[in-house]
Amino acid sequence: MLRVLTLSTLFPDATRPNFGVFVARQVAALSRRDGVAVRVVAPLGLPLWPLSRHPRYRGWDAVPRREVRDGVTVDRPRFRIVPGTGGRFHVAALTRALVPLLDSLRADFPFDVIDASFFFPDGPAAVALSRRYGVPVSIKARGADIHHWGHAPATAAQVRAAGRAADGLLAVSAAMRDDMAAIGIPAERVRVHHTGVDLTRFAPAGDRDALRASLGIAGPLVLSVGALIPRKGHDVAIAALARLPGATLAIAG
C-alpha cells in the first residue's frame, strides 16, 4: 500500500467550493486507484486580528478542522500569515503549524511520500517536512506559484531552492516546465502532468452550428478562460479582438 499525504493550500472548502477543485478531483481519482491511500492536509493562512475579520476570511471560522470529501479525509490546520511581508514568512509559519498535526497523523497514517500540489508555500514546507519524516517529496507547479511567487523578491529563492531539493517535480504543461527552468529549476527533472478533464461533465453537446446560433455567434469565436485578474491576460485577448473582424470574444472567469 502506497500512502500519499497531499499538502495543498489550493483546495476547496465550504466557503470556496470552486477553489482548487482540480486538486480535489485529482486527489479523489488517485484515492480510487488500487494499492493507494490518500490523506489531505489543506492549510488555511489567516492574518492576525483584526485583519482576520476581513470579509475575505470571515467565513473561515466555520470551516471544519477535519472533514471527509469524496471518501478522503481532509485536515485543515490554520497558520498565521503576516500581511505586507510579501510572503517571506509563510513557509516558516506553515511548517511550524504542520509539525504537530503530522506527528500525530503518522500514528495511524504512516505516509510514504508527501505530494505538494502547489509550489508556494506548500513546496518549501513539504521539503522541510520530508526531511523531518524521512520520506520523499514531489511538488507540482500550476501557474501563479511559479509566475508570481517564483519571481517575487521575498519568495523567489525559496521556490527555487525547493525545486532543486524535491525528489520529484511536476508541471501542468511543457510551457510551465520552461517557466520553471527560467527561474533555475532543472527542466530535465520536471515531468509534464496535464490536468485531467472529467469527460462525464465536459463533452460535445450536439450540433455545433446549432449551438453557436443559439448563442448568437455567427463568425469566429475566441474563448479566453481564467480568473478575472490581470495576471490571466484577458486584456491581450480584448486587444487582439480589434484585429479579428467579425470575431466574437467570450471570457469565462
d(CA 31, CA 114): 14
The pLDDT of residue 40: 98
| pLDDT (tens digit per residue) in 197-223 | 888 888 888 888 888 888 888 889 999
Of 92, 107, 111, nearest to 41 by C-alpha is: 111
Looking at mean pLDDT, say which of 12-21, 113-122, 209-218 comes out highest: 113-122
Of 118, 98, 102, nearest to 110 by C-alpha is: 102
The pLDDT of residue 56: 76
Mean per-residue pLDDT over the chain, rounded: 93
Sequence-separated contacts (24+) of 169-175 with Cβ below 8 Å: 169/138, 169/139, 169/140, 169/141, 170/138, 170/139, 170/140, 170/141, 171/140, 171/141, 172/140, 172/141, 172/142, 172/143
Q: What percent of the chain has pLDDT over 90?
A: 76
Of 122, 102, 113, nearest to 43 by C-alpha is: 122
Cell digits for 7?
499538502
What is the mean pLDDT of the segment spanning 222-228?
91
pLDDT band at 1 (very low <50, low <70, confident <90, very high): very high
Residue 21, pLDDT > 80, answer yes
Q: How many CB atoms lie within 10 A of CB 14?
A: 11
pLDDT band at 192 (very low <50, low <70, confident <90, very high): very high
Residue 159, pLDDT > 80, answer yes
What are the extents of the domains in the chain?
2-192, 208-252
Per the omega criterion (within 30 degrees of 0), is the bond before 50 cis?
Answer: yes
Residues 119 and 139: beta-carbon distance below 8 Å: yes
The pLDDT of residue 39: 98
Residues 116 and 138: beta-carbon distance below 8 Å: yes
Of the candidate CATH numbers 2.60.40.10, 3.90.420.10, 3.80.30.20, 3.40.50.2000, the domain formed by 2-192 belongs to: 3.40.50.2000
Residue 35, pLDDT > 90, answer yes
CA distances to 189, 198, 233 from 195, in Å: 19, 10, 20
Half-sphere exposure (CA, 13 Å, Cβ side) for 143?
A: 10
What predicted TM-score, i.e. pTM, was given to this entire model?
A: 0.87
Q: Which amino acid is at 94?
A: L
